[in-house]
Structure 1
Amino acid sequence: MNETAPRQRTVISAESKPAMPRYIKMRHDAGRDRWIILAPERLFDPDPIAVEVLKLCDGARTVGEIAEHLAKEYNAPREDIEADIVTMLQDLADKGVVKA
């Protein structure tokens, strides 16, 4: 009998280095002037804040580094930004849109 192992849940933390898998694409829809995320048989419509975070998810930067960058750019508390990023990326990781 060939049983497949259950999928392991990716847990996002400040040390995670998030990136989108190769088969997930973020594209700008010029006709509607919005960003979309294309996944197999799914389409996501991220808000402008999520787009800014996802643009920085390159697999090299940690969530903490992304939060630091955005805190400086938007003059906002780093801890608040980091908490929001972790929550957002965890939701996307659970949907298979982000890996870490």
Structure 2
Amino acid sequence: MAGIEDSARPRLARHVRMRFDATRGRHVLLSPEAVLVINDTGAAIVDLCDGERTVADIESELERRYDDVADGDVRSFLADLVAKHGMEVTHG
């Protein structure tokens, strides 16, 4: 996906936190403006986005953990979060 390179290092935006919402039984991303409910796969991706790991590292780790990780899913998820100002990406 354009804009999200292998060497990019994603992390949650400073104003966003991931929490498990017991009422919903799902992980959520909390920001001052919104609550975004994410599935378990999304939570696994976000959990790996520490600003140190690259997108390539994250994809490799998820492929190691799970049998079926479709090409482009991680980048698509991250691009969506970047567009919603929930994720920051540094390059290099």
In structure 2, stretches of 5+ residues that fail to align are none
Aligned positions of 1:39-78 closer than 5 A: 39-76=31-68
More strand by share: 2
How many residue pairs get aligned? The number is: 87
Local SS of the residue matching 1:75? coil
The amino acid of 2:74's aligned partner reads I
Query: TM-score normalized by structure 2?
Result: 0.85
Structure 1 consecutive aligned stretches of length 4 or more whose deviation exceeds 4 Å: none
* Aligned mates of 1:57, 1:48 — CA distance in 2: 14
Identity of aligned residues (%): 31
Name which of 70, 75, 85 aligns with 1:86: 75
In structure 1, stretches of 5+ residues that fail to align are 1-10
Cα RMSD between the aligned structures?
Answer: 1.4
* Aligned mates of 2:7, 2:73 — CA distance in 1: 15
| Structure with higher RCO (Cα < 8 A, 6+ apart) | 2
